[in-house]
Amino acid sequence: MSAPRAVVLLSGGLDSATCLAIARDQGFETYALSVAYGQRHAAELNAAKRVVSALGAREHRLAHVDLGQFGGSALTDANIDVPTDGLQTGIPVTYVPARNTVMLSLALGWAEVLGANDIFVGVNAVDYSGYPDCRPEFIAAFEAMANLATKVGVEGNRLRIHAPLIELSKAQIVQLGTSLGVDYGLTVSCYKATDDGLACGQCDACRLRSAGFAAAGLADPTPYIRLADIPHDVQTR
């Protein structure tokens, strides 16, 4: 019997790269899906290609959905600055309205065509930025919706949304990924990375990522713009 298929959402960041490694480790034939959603920098999508080259996937697709036409987020709207002065409280301006709903919907569409009953998404509810669409309640609700919304679901082939990182700390994630052979030097988490993939060292994503490597006792392989930009302070303001 051939391996079951899974669609893995792959942004090119630390979490989604770990997720791809987990899906492969669990024996799935992986179909990686990256989404150009109108993000301000191309570094993440370049990183996604590098991650697929390194870890392997049966196929890698890039879907285009322009959430930038609506703006409303520091990640899609050039008029909103990415905060760089410490972790934000509440739901920060880097939240992209409906992003995970849109991405999971695209993954669901491809999964149904592939005959895949499993979708992996690297959302994380511990060391995260406070996004509502990274919570376990959201994943459970999306899974319920997916089984109502699709032919395969109605015909009794249950679709599963896997969020294997959801209860892990950033340190646990990098330890797990390292044990599965993930090269985090290939990934880009920074909200304002250069097109070459250099990280700013100051945004929430850089701070959470750096603190994760430190807590795990692992060297941080992130290429930063300047050495002086390596974050030291991860305190909430």
Binding site for Zn ion (CB under 5 A): 190, 199-200, 203, 206
Q: Which is nearer to Zn ion, 206 or 216 (CB)?
A: 206
For residues 6 and 199, which CB has a smaller minimum distance to Zn ion in the complex? 199
Pick from 132, 131, 107: which is nearest to 120 by CA? 107
Shortest separation between residue 140's beta carbon and Zn ion, angstroms: 31
Q: Residue 10's closest CA among 19, 140, 1?
A: 19
Q: How far is the CB of 146 from Zn ion (least distance, A)?
A: 33
* CB-nearer residue toward Zn ion: 117 or 189: 189
Q: How far is the CB of 225 from Zn ion (least distance, A)?
A: 9
188 neighbors 163 (Cβ within 8 angstroms)? no
CA distance 115 to 110: 9
DSSP E strands: which ranges in the chain?
5-9, 29-36, 59-64, 118-120, 160-162
Nearer to Zn ion, 41 or 61 (CB): 41
Query: For residues 118 and 4, is the Cβ–Cβ distance under 8 A?
Result: yes
CB of 73 to Zn ion, least distance (A): 15
Residue 156 structure tokens: 């009794």
- Closer CB to Zn ion, 23 or 173, in the complex: 173
Shortest distance (Å) from residue 181 CB to Zn ion: 25
